[in-house]
Structure 1
């Protein structure tokens, strides 16, 4: 392998793939498709559908299982070991196709925003040339779906994770916080009277769900809606923006 292509594909909508991304899919000699376990087969299927939609003659696809993440030695150590294991799966899959010169992975959202594909790619040996094709992020899809700007006039914002909201609270002094990778509805750890929320699941897809309002009024509806959607689909991807209430 000479080149590893990390292709941002947006949030599962083929229209989110850029022309550069579509060309990279067609140019690839091999595409790796992750399987994330029982109940999440749709995630692999969506990637395959995007490839089919964008290429008349798709390259060979190789499926690999994502190993489970353990946190017995702490969160960060668990993530490091998990990334090592995923890199090993990539290496094994690539080794089965020694003639593939350009190997691609389709990255949900964008490879540069809260995604670890670049860190995993750094573990490959020998290390290939890495090419990143940017995609629409979940954050862009969320603000577009709600038709809002992410920040208030002249003000900064922070993008963080649910874990940090739970552990550290609101990151002062900003007034707008985008929260990703939150499987715990971590907004419950905040004073609901102080914030408005713009929440979305399956953003940009036909299954898209949007809820917006004062956190104290819509918090339970988001929790219930999220649980029902996850049960229905077997998986869920959601993101939300919190903003301090005016005054």
Structure 2
């Protein structure tokens, strides 16, 4: 079996590459994750992308109800168990579709940046032939929206989840941090003189941006984030940090 992981960007159907569109239309089966009512907007965006770009009527579409990740057994154990369950669901859906030769998944952003599709695909047996179509990343969307370069002149960048920043502190030697997967608690522990560029729902109609000295906007940013999460039922955000 051939399995293609297609990066679809951050919610704007215009950000799909020509390669991504061709891969969608060349598949026999496309699997769509269903994350429930809380993240129904993400499912609707994938459906909008298919409505705009899928022109091959023979491509079958199957939705998969995604399981919730357990949080009572430690982070890594919980994630590994979760990935095992998702791989079983993928395999079951593929078998129910008659074991098609070419299966595709639409991956939010890019399959290589804080996405687990490649790790889940590696659990399938027999091992499929995997192809990756890169997509526009939320990180590139953030820097474009704020019109700011990712790196300072001649300086390094560290890309990390907020959990690592909270537990280990600012990585040695990194002038800029790109921080993903924050639950809203990390910024309270950072120095006021940090410069921050923050974005949520990047590329979508709901896009929200804030930037400035962290000590000046920390409260407004936390309030804005909470209000957006309340309004939409979910939030996807990230930010750049530089020391002042």
Q: Verify same fold: TM over 0.5.
A: yes
Q: Provide the residue aligned with 2:156 in structure 1.
A: 156
**Aligned 8 A contact 1:169 1:189 in 2:** no
Runs of 5+ consecutive residues of structure 2 not aligned to the other structure: none
SS in 1 for 2:171: coil
SS in 1 for 2:38: coil
Q: Provide the residue aligned with 1:129 in structure 2.
A: 129
Q: Provide the residue aligned with 1:166 in structure 2.
A: 166
Q: Provide the residue aligned with 1:43 in structure 2.
A: 42
**Aligned 8 A contact 1:162 1:184 in 2:** no
TM-score under structure 2 length normalisation: 0.96
Q: How does 1:181-200 map to 2 (within 5 A)?
A: 181-191=181-191, 193-200=192-199
Determine if the alignment matches structure 1 residue 116 to structure 2 residue 110: no
TM-score under structure 1 length normalisation: 0.95
SS in 1 for 2:196: strand
Q: Provide the residue aligned with 2:83 in structure 1.
A: 83
- Once the two structures are TM-superposed, the CA of residue 99 in structure 1 deviates from its matched residue by 4.8
Give the distance between the partners of 2:189 and 2:35, measured in 1 at CA.
29
Q: Give me the CA root mean square deviation.
A: 1.2
Q: Deviations over 1:149-178 (max 9, x none)?
A: 011000011000011111112112212000
SS in 2 for 1:170: coil
Q: How does 1:1-247 map to 2 (within 5 A)?
A: 2-58=1-57, 59-191=59-191, 193-245=192-244
Greater mean deviation of Cα atoms: 31-40 or 207-216: 31-40
SS in 1 for 2:136: coil
Residues paired across the two proteins, number:
243
Give the distance between the partners of 1:38 and 1:142, measured in 2 at CA.
26
Runs of 5+ consecutive residues of structure 1 not aligned to the other structure: none
